[in-house]
Amino acid sequence: MKRMTVMMAVVSMGSALAADIYDKTDLTWKSRPPTLDPLALKMNAGAKIPFLRPLPAWRNGKAVCSARNNPEWAMPGVFTGTDADLGLFMKTLRDTIAENRRLIRIGGRTLACNHNWVRDHTHQMKGWCHWEHDNTSFLDFILDHPRADGMLYEMIKQLDDGHWRMVEDTSRVLFPEDHMALVRLDLEADVEYLAVEAAHRYWRMSGDNAWMARRLPVLERAINYQTSDPQRWNAKYGLCIRPFTIDTWDFVPTKWTGGDRRIHPGEPMPAMHGDNTGVYQAMRQLAAMNRRRTTGSGGRRR
């Protein structure tokens, strides 16, 4: 296994090698380059994990780096070693998430999201939380617009997209002046606990106790909805239920599923393992936030 080093910080760089010792025409050294001790470089000052490879460098393994910063730089994480393979792989992962970033204008507000579904946004948050500067605008909008019974909407889509037509009026809010719709696909059963996960992650990222305390009531109502509404909860077994969807995808193996995301009377309503563990996790996260709100102690970090 190649020896790699991870440095999760922005570091100050030492000066580049003198230009006159390198011939960029045939990629050969005119003279022997100066011997550098990476551990003595300024970039490693105070670092707990020292760089084993000084960057920026013209060449890193098979990668030729013509730009000022090497391609494997994916700030704030820097991955480097004797070659660039791991760093370039991590850059690809970051680029994949960054390309999903969207800006939405709705209700007089501008929202940043990855993507415009609570599900995608929350799961991708595990990656973009390390560099995104707007961490809450999309989540705040979702939490600012709960249904009266505590249900949360899950997506913001263009009016000509058609998702809003797949549900009844009670599961959508139209914003015609913005050409947008706030929608909840009825057969989705993971929205409430994913919203709790997103809020808990932001709270852990920011330490914003005031924001957390302000959001707790709507989050608690959302979990109460999921554990009491007959379309979400089987009181006999004490389990969350959903239509017979394919994993957490929003369709079922029926002839109507293409343009219909409603819950129909009499259709099978199984209990999915992932929904129930998700609600369990959300309850633990709500408990941790409540401990911080009431006692100032958030409990053990998990």
pTM of the model: 0.75
Query: Which residue type sits at 177?
Result: E
Q: pLDDT in tens for each of the 302 residues of the chain?
A: 333 333 333 333 333 333 444 444 444 545 555 566 766 766 667 666 565 666 556 666 676 665 555 555 555 555 556 667 777 787 788 888 888 899 999 999 999 999 899 999 999 999 899 888 899 999 999 999 999 999 999 999 999 888 999 999 999 999 999 999 999 999 999 999 999 999 999 999 999 999 999 999 999 999 999 999 999 999 999 999 999 988 788 878 776 667 889 999 999 999 999 999 999 999 999 999 999 988 765 444 44
Q: What pLDDT is stored for residue 21 in this prediction?
A: 40
Average pLDDT, the chain: 81
Q: What pLDDT is stored for residue 4 in this prediction?
A: 39
